[in-house]
C-alpha cells in the first residue's frame, strides 16, 4: 500500500511540478505529502545531519561537473580513501575536459593504474571527446544528455545532475539501497525489477521533496554557521541550503557509508533512528535482502619475470580482454584438478559485490617450483635452467579469488637459445606483437595491472 501511495505521489509530483506549480503551491504540496506520509520526515532529518557531518572530500569543494563526474566514475566499486589520491592526481594532470579528450591512451591508463575496471577510464575519454564534439567542450546540464555519454548510467547521471546542478533527480546505489530498505522496511530483493523500480520511485520522491524543503529559520542560521566555521566540513560557504537536492542525495550515500553500514550499523547515532522500520522491528540483519550470494571461485595463475641480457619480457593485454591495454609479465592459468583441496575449500567462501574491486592482500614467499610450475613455463615456450621463487600475490576481482605465484627466470645470453617448437625456441619465449623486451628502468612508467605491479615492486626490492 505504501508503494502505491508513493508511486501516485511521485508521478503526481512530477506532473504538477512540470506543469508550473508556484513555489508556494509546491511547498504546500510537499508539506501536505509529509503530513499524509510521515515517512517523508527523513528529508529534514537527513539534510540537518549532512550539514553537520559530511566528510571533507576534495570533490565536494567544487561544483564543477567535470570534477564531480571524474569522482563519481572513480568511486564506482572503489572506496573513498583509495580514490582520493587518484582523483587529485587526475585533476592535476588533466584539469579539464579538453585535456582528457586530447590525452594519450597511455597517460589515461597510467593515471588509472591500480584502480581496476579500466573500461571506466576509456569511457571517460570517449565521453570527453563526445562532449568536445557535441557540446562545445561544456559538460551538458540536461539529464538526458548526461545519460547519453559513454560509461554513464542512471545512477551516475543522477549523481552529477543533482550534485553539480542541484537538480531533483534521484540516485540509487548500494549505500542508498541499504538505507532505504532498512528505513522503510522493504523486504523484497532490491535487485528484482519491481522492487528496484519502487526504490527509484522512492528516491525520486525524497529528492523532489528536498528540492522545496525550507528549514525553519533558526536551524538555517545554525547550518549556515556550521558550514562556514567548521573546518572539517566540506560544505563551503558557497554551498547553501538552496542545494538541497545535492545535499539530500549525498546524505543518503553518506549515511550508508558512515552510519548505516552493512555490518554493525551505528544506529545509536543515526539521525533517522526514530523513523527506521528495521531498527524498530529488529530486522537490521535481514535488510537489504540481497538473496543468496554466489560462491567465490578460486583461480590460480603462474607468472614469470623473464630476464635475458638485462632485459625483461612484458606484454600488453589485447583490446577486448579484461584489463585491456594494461601491461603484465607472461603468465598462464593453472586449472585445478577435479577434487583438489584448495578449490574445494574456497567453494565455501562468499564474495560481496561491494568489495569487488581488485585488491592485493599479500605478497609472501612462494613455494618451490613443482611439476605444474615447470609445465606452465613450458606452455609459454620457456625451458629455463632455473626457476626462482619470487612472491605470491592474492587479490579479488568480482567473485574470483585469484592467487598469482611469480617466479624469476634468468635465461642467460641469447647464444643459449636452441630450437624448441613452432611457438618459440628453447630458452626463448614466443614473440608476439604485444610482447617486448625492456630494461628494468623502462618498466615502471608502464601501466601494469595491480597484481603485476606488485610483482615488479617485489622484484625491484629484491634486486636493488
Ligand atoms: Fe540504518 Fe540503524 Fe539508521 Fe536504521 S537506525 S537507518 S538500520 S543506522
177-197 tens-digit pLDDT: 999 999 999 999 999 999 999
Residue nearest to atom 2 of ligand 1 (CA): 267
Find out whether 310 and 439 touch, Cβ atoms under 8 Å: yes
Q: Which CATH architecture has domain 2-286?
A: Orthogonal Bundle (1.10)
Sequence-distant (6+) residues with CB within 8 A of 355 are: 396
- The rounded distance, in Å, linking the Cα atoms of 354 and 21 is 40
Quick check: CB of 112 below 6 Å from ligand 1? no
Quick check: CB of 259 below 6 Å from ligand 1? yes
Closest atom of ligand 1 to CA, residue 265: 8
- Pocket test of ligand 1: the residue of 53, 256, 281, 284 to mutate, having most ligand atoms within 8 Å of its CB, is 284
Q: Within a 10 A sphere around the Cβ of 378, how many other Cβ atoms?
A: 15
Closest atom of ligand 1 to CA, residue 270: 3
Quick check: CB of 265 below 6 Å from ligand 1? yes
Sequence-distant (6+) residues with CB within 8 A of 124 are: 69, 70, 73, 100, 108, 151
| Closest to 77 in 3D by CA, of 47, 119, 35 | 119
Indicate the pTM of the whole model. 0.79
The CATH fold assigned to 297-463 is Nucleoside Triphosphate Pyrophosphohydrolase (3.90.79)
Give the distance (Å) from ligand 1 centre to CA of residue 170.
20
CATH 1.10.340.30 domain position(s) in the chain: 2-286
- The rounded distance, in Å, linking the Cα atoms of 130 and 424 is 44
pLDDT averaged over every residue in the chain = 81
Give pLDDT tens digits for 348-406: 222 233 333 444 444 445 566 777 888 888 888 777 678 899 999 998 888 899 999 99
Specify the pLDDT at position 358: 42
C-alpha distances out from residue 300 to 136, 242, 376, 394, Å: 48, 53, 11, 9
Give the distance (Å) from ligand 1 centre to CA of residue 223.
23
Quick check: CB of 178 below 6 Å from ligand 1? no
135 half-sphere exposure, CB direction, 13 A CA radius:
18
Quick check: CB of 283 below 6 Å from ligand 1? no
Quick check: CB of 42 below 6 Å from ligand 1? no
Q: What is the mean pLDDT of residues 221-225?
A: 49
CATH 3.90.79.10 domain position(s) in the chain: 297-463
Helix axes 105-112, 119-134, angle to 10 degrees: 130
Give the distance (Å) from ligand 1 centre to CA of residue 350.
25
Cell numbers found for residue 126: 570517449
Handedness of CA 271, 277, 279, 280 (dihedral sign): positive
Task: Say whether 194 is catalytic.
Answer: no
Amino acid at each position: 500500500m505504501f508503494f502505491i501511495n508513493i508511486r501516485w505521489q511521485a508521478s503526481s509530483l512530477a506532473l504538477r511540478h512540470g506543469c508550473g506549480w508556484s513555489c508556494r503551491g509546491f511547498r504546500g504540496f510537499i508539506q501536505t505529502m509529509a503530513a499524509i506520509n510521515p515517512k517523508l520526515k527523513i528529508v529534514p532529518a537527513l539534510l540537518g545531519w549532512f550539514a553537520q557531518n559530511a566528510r571533507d572530500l576534495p570533490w565536494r569543494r567544487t561544483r564543477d561537473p567535470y570534477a564531480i563526474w571524474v569522482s563519481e566514475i572513480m568511486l564506482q566499486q572503489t572506496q573513498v580513501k583509495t580514490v582520493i589520491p587518484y582523483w587529485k592526481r587526475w585533476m592535476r594532470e588533466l584539469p579539464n575536459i579538453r585535456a582528457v579528450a586530447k590525452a594519450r591512451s597511455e597517460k589515461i591508463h597510467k593515471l588509472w593504474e591500480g584502480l581496476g575496471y579500466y573500461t571506466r577510464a576509456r569511457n571517460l575519454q570517449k565521453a570527453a571527446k563526445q562532449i568536445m564534439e557535441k557540446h562545445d567542450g561544456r559538460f551538458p546540464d540536461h539529464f538526458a544528455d548526461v545519460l547519453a555519454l559513454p560509461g554513464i548510467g542512471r545512477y551516475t547521471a543522477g549523481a552529477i545532475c543533482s550534485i553539480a546542478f542541484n537538480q531533483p533527480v534521484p540516485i540509487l546505489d548500494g549505500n542508498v539501497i541499504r538505507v532505504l530498505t532498512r528505513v522503510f522496511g522493504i523486504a523484497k530483493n532490491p535487485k528484482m525489477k519491481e522492487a528496484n523500480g519502487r526504490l527509484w520511485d522512492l528516491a525520486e520522491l525524497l529528492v523532489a521533496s528536498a528540492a522545496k524543503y525550507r528549514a525553519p529559520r533558526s536551524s538555517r542560521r545554525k547550518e549556515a554557521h556550521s558550514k562556514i566555521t567548521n573546518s572539517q566540513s566540506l560544505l563551503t560557504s558557497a554551498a547553501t541550503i538552496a542545494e538541497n537536492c545535492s545535499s539530500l542525495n549525498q546524505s543518503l550515500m553518506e549515511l550508508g557509508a558512515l552510519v548505516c553500514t552493512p555490518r554493525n550499523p551505528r544506529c545509536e547515532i543515526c539521525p533517522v533512528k526514530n523513523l527506521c522500520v528495521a531498527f524498530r522491528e529488529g530486522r537490521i540483519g535481514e535488510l537489504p535482502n540481497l538473496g543468496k550470494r554466489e560462491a567465490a571461485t578460486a583461480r590460480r595463475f603462474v607468472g614469470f619475470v623473464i630476464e635475458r641480457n638485462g632485459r625483461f619480457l612484458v606484454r600488453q593485454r589485447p583490446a577486448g580482454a579484461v584489463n585491456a591495454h594494461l601491461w603484465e609479465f607472461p603468465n598462464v592459468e593453472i586449472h585445478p584438478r577435479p577434487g583438489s583441496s584448495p578449490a574445494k575449500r574456497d567453494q565455501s567462501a562468499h564474495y560481496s559485490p561491494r568489495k569487488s574491486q581488485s585488491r592485493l592482500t599479500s605478497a609472501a614467499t612462494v613455494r618451490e617450483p613443482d611439476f605444474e610450475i615447470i609445465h606452465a613455463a613450458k606452455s609459454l615456450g620457456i625451458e629455463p635452467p632455473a626457476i626462482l621463487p619470487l612472491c605470491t600475490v592474492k587479490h579479488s576481482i568480482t567473485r574470483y579469488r585469484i592467487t598469482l605465484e611469480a617466479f624469476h627466470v634468468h635465461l642467460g645470453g641469447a647464444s643459449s637459445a636452441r630450437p624448441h617448437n613452432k611457438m618459440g625456441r628453447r630458452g626463448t619465449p614466443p614473440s608476439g606483437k604485444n610482447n617486448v623486451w625492456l630494461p628494468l628502468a623502462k618498466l615502471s612508467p608502464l601501466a601494469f595491472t595491480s597484481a603485476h605491479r606488485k610483482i615488479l615492486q617485489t622484484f625491484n626490492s629484491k634486486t636493488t
